[in-house]
Structure 1
């Protein structure tokens, strides 16, 4: 059975005190929720990762990094390595978020290197992909997503997918208030599962969790999560409020 996952990407929000308060609120809000087959992941900023790991200890909450450099070490000012993340207890890394692609010029080729580094260091990747509005309007969305997956992931071995979570982000639905319809989300998730199956195996395709990311809120989460190929969500703004995040987790 595929794992259900709700991951909160906090982006560049929350200082140390706010991080502490939000984790406390999430712990309280999900305390009585049945989480037997559901993983809960939060992704604070770099400066709060260490304290977040400590605050989440002995809870159902896991902590992920929002990014990671592909090199082991060196003259890469402002970057963070796998060893640094592992040294504070972080085991999961978000790779290829649309904002990293858009604002920091991360290419498929670079992301392939980052994925390799994540896996080589025994970490888990949440790999993000998705089309822009113009690609959706031209009906090139399947072609674009297929290209992103092939360029960044298709050099891997089938066994690598035990440490990969996929996250579909329609770029036009991130922070805009727009949301892909449940049918649009299902279409893309089914497409992704199909091409993973063709390249690797049906077993790999059936076992990999595919999350939806794009303006998921308590009001629409249940309908989106009800689709057979949607295994959870990568949550942005709604993850910054404990009650909303807990409501989305409950919806799964």
Structure 2
């Protein structure tokens, strides 16, 4: 929005015009500025109006506009101040005018500093909000990843429970054939001991011959204890019989 289309700008400018008219009210009435009691009170009201206009301009439109109002209104009051001091010279009056001008300039700086600090605070707040939003998003993603990991772990645990249940089944009663030693499963199928155990556990089989079977199958080479006979004893065994 253009500055000159802003209603508040023209209200502030109107207050500045009122201040200017109030300053030159004596001259507009054709009277010489006289430092009587009423004039001094009126002078104080004029300075209050001056500070109000400068402060409003700075607060609403920033440093440049506030400083511009301070400079213009100060420049407009210089001719009147010269005439007033010429007819009513007193060093305290000059000092008061200078102090009022410095106070107006200080008000411009203070209000501008306040506005800049507020702007920086808002920017910092927005930065914090962005950081919180990003952190919340990171935590949400981490939470989703954790949920997926939990689901995966539960699946693995379920598989382990099933495997453990199968392993525990081997510790129960197994129906085994008294003759061929095959085992019957839950579905009624018969299978060898090796196949059954391999199916229901992670065990694997290798084959060998026990000492009793060695003696039974190969009596010429192995004794009753399963130990291999010497060559001489193996050759004498048939003749002894």
Assess same fold via TM > 0.5: no
Greater share of residues in strand = 1
- Structure holding more helix per residue: 2
What TM-score do you get using the length of structure 2 for normalisation?
0.24
Q: Which has the higher contact order (CA 8 A, sep 6+)?
A: 1
Larger radius of gyration: 2
